[in-house]
Amino acid sequence: MSISTPINEQISDFNNWVADLQTRMESVLDAQLPATTISPMRLHEAMRYAALGGGKRVRALLAYAAGEFCGADLGKIDVPAAAVELIHAFSLVHDDMPCMDDDDLRRGKPTTHKVYGDAMALLVGDALQSLAFQLISQDKLLKSATQKLQMLHILALASGSRGMAGGQAIDIESIGIPLTREELEQMHIHKTGALIRAAALLGAYSADEPDQEKVTAIDHFAKSIGLAFQVVDDILDAEADTHTLGKTAGKDAKNNKSTYVTILGLSAAKQLANELHANAMAALSFYGREADCLRHLANFITQRSF
Amino acid sequence: MSISTPINEQISDFNNWVADLQTRMESVLDAQLPATTISPMRLHEAMRYAALGGGKRVRALLAYAAGEFCGADLGKIDVPAAAVELIHAFSLVHDDMPCMDDDDLRRGKPTTHKVYGDAMALLVGDALQSLAFQLISQDKLLKSATQKLQMLHILALASGSRGMAGGQAIDIESIGIPLTREELEQMHIHKTGALIRAAALLGAYSADEPDQEKVTAIDHFAKSIGLAFQVVDDILDAEADTHTLGKTAGKDAKNNKSTYVTILGLSAAKQLANELHANAMAALSFYGREADCLRHLANFITQRSF
């Protein structure tokens, strides 16, 4: 399924779409990250280590799918999608540090602080965050200052204390404290949901004048799929082994963290993932084939390994 | 010296200007930082702890002085100046952490990680950075999207790997390695100079259509004064005791770090500070009393304690 032809429903075509855009995102990030020949070289090397060569690029895929749905040129989605991936990469680097989750493995390779040391990892995260905002602010393909400003605002809100950082704060405060399902949901809406929503909205706003009903539909879709993503993460953490996951498995239980699996049990957690998937689909119910890519992506996210 | 009346040269008036704007900046930050009644409360409390109640607010003062020089309304400078102060506060929180400088004292009180723990301090820094970009992107007083976008671009560049974070990376890589004067200068141009320049430029661009010659003059002024600021910092670290400094003194020597004092000696370092001060003044030589506030600020920065 090429980007310029109508989306068809064949899974193999969707898989090609995913593979093509994962490759594309890698190229965009490679081009936008500072070269290792530019000073400070070791910081730039570590930033590239943290941001390149791995991950499913779910947020970028969501931005591309939402952008296409709203009629954006593929090229205009590149930088906003890359910015979201940089924010995500920064959060992983900091999240893996000894004072946070203390993880040794990420995307199947040693975490940034294991390779470059804690101090450099701290700066890598800081600099990746700045770079995300820098890239959108200087993007030449997005012509309208208002459009870029709106994206920067969405991204800053999603990253900050009322978004991702806030969710992480709730997370570290809740270690060892059993959460209710509602509290757990609040944590995840911030910790992962906010950035996933931002990815979808930045994709939508890559179109010059996106249809507001489509933007609303995408927002509802992204809310459900963002939560589904986390429920699936909890299931995978409980079920998978470290090799399959590409990061240390079983950490949640070891750290005495509340998860959808510890609160609901494995079977009900899977049921919840399916319900959230259905909600996401319902948000697109007024749309035809132009939303198929988003639908496939919902399947991709919720059916990753079970 | 009130803001709306002509600047006069009396030091006491300048001191009042400084005190008024330090108070004003505290109020702006207080209003713009999320309230502790909003979830996640402890993160918000820690962000306020890190960003409020201390510091000379040199960057904000520079933004105000540069903005006035270019004819900006005082109110329009508030948010850009606050954004720069938030980036500065974020950098201090991360810089003080055990994996970086491992400092217990900052602005005369325990550092953020000593009070809230390392994980929370990490998130405080991350969230303060996001907030800086958020505030400019949503500011209602700056009417032009292009103006805000330009500010966001300047601030992101100054914070990232080619600015502040890059300078910190050079710093941690150079511990125990004697630097040449040129290498030291390169480090400081990035580590502190970039954000000080950004403060001045954001102030200038708070004016709706700043005179480009004035912007250029301010940029030259800020480059010299930014470096002077660091030379003075090195002198203070070598000379002052912990009580006077409000942070742990003598750390540079203890950490075997190259400073202007270790490279040049105390006397030549003071001479250099004076030369940089003279360069800053020279950048304003075409201007009359409208630049007096910037001149006073140059004195304030370079003559802090010697």
Whole-number percent of chain A with pLDDT over 70: 91
Residue A175 lies in a domain: yes
- Whether B134 sits inside 8 A of A157 (CB atoms) is yes
- Whether B168 sits inside 8 A of A99 (CB atoms) is no
Q: Is B166 on the interface with A (CB under 8 A)?
A: yes
Q: Is A208 on the interface with B (CB under 8 A)?
A: no
- Whether A153 sits inside 8 A of B146 (CB atoms) is no
Residue B1 lies in a domain: no
Q: Can you tell me the distance from the alpha carbon of B270 to that of A141, in angstroms, rounded to the nearest whole number?
A: 49
Interface of B with A in 114-153 (CB under 8 A): 117-120, 122-123, 125-127, 129-131, 133-134, 137-138, 144-146, 148-149, 152-153
Q: Which chain A residue has its CA at the smallest distance from B161's CA?
A: A127
Residue B6 lies in a domain: no
Whole-number percent of chain B with pLDDT over 70: 91
Q: Is B42 on the interface with A (CB under 8 A)?
A: yes
Structure token pair of residue B302: 């370079």
Q: Is A244 on the interface with B (CB under 8 A)?
A: no
Q: Give the orientation angle of helix A74-95 with respect to helix A11-32, to 10 degrees.
A: 70
Residue B241 lies in a domain: yes
- Whether A161 sits inside 8 A of B137 (CB atoms) is no
Tens-place pLDDT, residues A182-226: 999 999 999 999 999 999 999 999 999 999 999 999 999 999 999
B283 in Cβ contact with B235 (< 8 Å): no
Tens-place pLDDT, residues A270-300: 999 999 999 999 999 999 999 999 999 999 8
A291 in Cβ contact with A298 (< 8 Å): no
Give the closest of B42, B99, B166 to A40, CB-based. B166
ipTM reported for the complex, 2 dp? 0.93
Distances (CA, A) of B251 to A233, B29, B54, B237: 44, 30, 21, 7
Give the closest of B90, B122, B161 to A34, CB-based. B161
**What are the residues whose beta carbons fall under 8 Å from the beta carbon of B208, sequence distance 6 or more?**
B72, B143, B144, B147
Q: Can you tell me the distance from the alpha carbon of B79 to that of B133, in angstroms, rounded to the nearest whole number?
A: 10
Give the closest of A123, A134, A160 to B127, CB-based. A160
Residue A5 lies in a domain: no
Tens-place pLDDT, residues A135-148: 999 999 998 999 99
3-state secondary structure of A109: strand
Distances (CA, A) of B139 to A302, B62, B75, B135, B208: 38, 20, 11, 6, 14
Rounded to a whole number, what is the distance in Å from the CA of A31 to chain B's nearest CA?
A: 15
Q: Can you tell me the distance from the alpha carbon of A90 to that of A160, in angstroms, rounded to the nearest whole number?
A: 13
To test the contact with chain B by mutation, choose from A84, A114, A126, A138 the residue with the greatest count of B C-beta atoms within 10 A, namely: A126
Residue A75 lies in a domain: yes
Mean pLDDT for chain B overall? 91
Low-confidence ranges of chain B (pLDDT < 70): 1-10, 241-255, 304-306
* Number of separate domains in chain A: 1
Q: Cα torsion at B52, B58, B59, B60 (round to 10°)?
A: 60
Mean pLDDT for chain A overall? 91
Q: Can you tell me the distance from the alpha carbon of A296 to that of A7, in angstroms, rounded to the nearest whole number?
A: 10
- Amino acid of residue A276: L
Q: What is the structure's pLDDT at A197?
A: 97
- Whether B153 sits inside 8 A of A146 (CB atoms) is no
Look at residue A243 and tell me whether its pLDDT is greater than 80.
no
Q: Which chain B residue has its CA at the smallest distance from A99's CA?
A: B119
Structure token pair of residue B111: 């550092």
Is the Cα dihedral B65, B109, B238, A43 positive or negative? negative
Q: Can you tell me the distance from the alpha carbon of A80 to that of A152, in angstroms, rounded to the nearest whole number?
A: 9
Expressed as residue numbers, the domain containing A167 is 11-302
Residue A2 lies in a domain: no
Q: Cα torsion at B204, B209, B212, B215 (round to 10°)?
A: 0
**What is the pairing mode between strands B105-106 and B109-110?**
antiparallel
Give the closest of B130, B145, B159 to A149, CB-based. B145
Residue A1 lies in a domain: no
Structure token pair of residue B151: 């500010």
Going by C-alpha positions, the residue among B60, B64, B52 that lies closest to residue B93 is B52
Q: Can you tell me the distance from the alpha carbon of B296 to that of B10, in angstroms, rounded to the nearest whole number?
A: 9
| Secondary structure E strands in A101-226 | 105-106, 109-110
- Whether B160 sits inside 8 A of A134 (CB atoms) is yes
Q: Can you tell me the distance from the alpha carbon of B140 to that of A130, in angstroms, rounded to the nearest whole number?
A: 23
The CATH number for B277's domain is 1.10.600.10
A282 in Cβ contact with A240 (< 8 Å): no
Tens-place pLDDT, residues B29-65: 999 999 999 999 999 999 999 999 878 999 999 999 9
Tens-place pLDDT, residues A3-39: 445 544 557 789 999 999 999 999 999 999 999 999 9
Distance of CA A134 to the CA centre of its chain: 19
Q: Which chain A residue has its CA at the smallest distance from B147's CA?
A: A145
Give the closest of A123, A159, A172 to B169, CB-based. A123
Look at residue A306 and tell me whether its pLDDT is greater than 50.
no
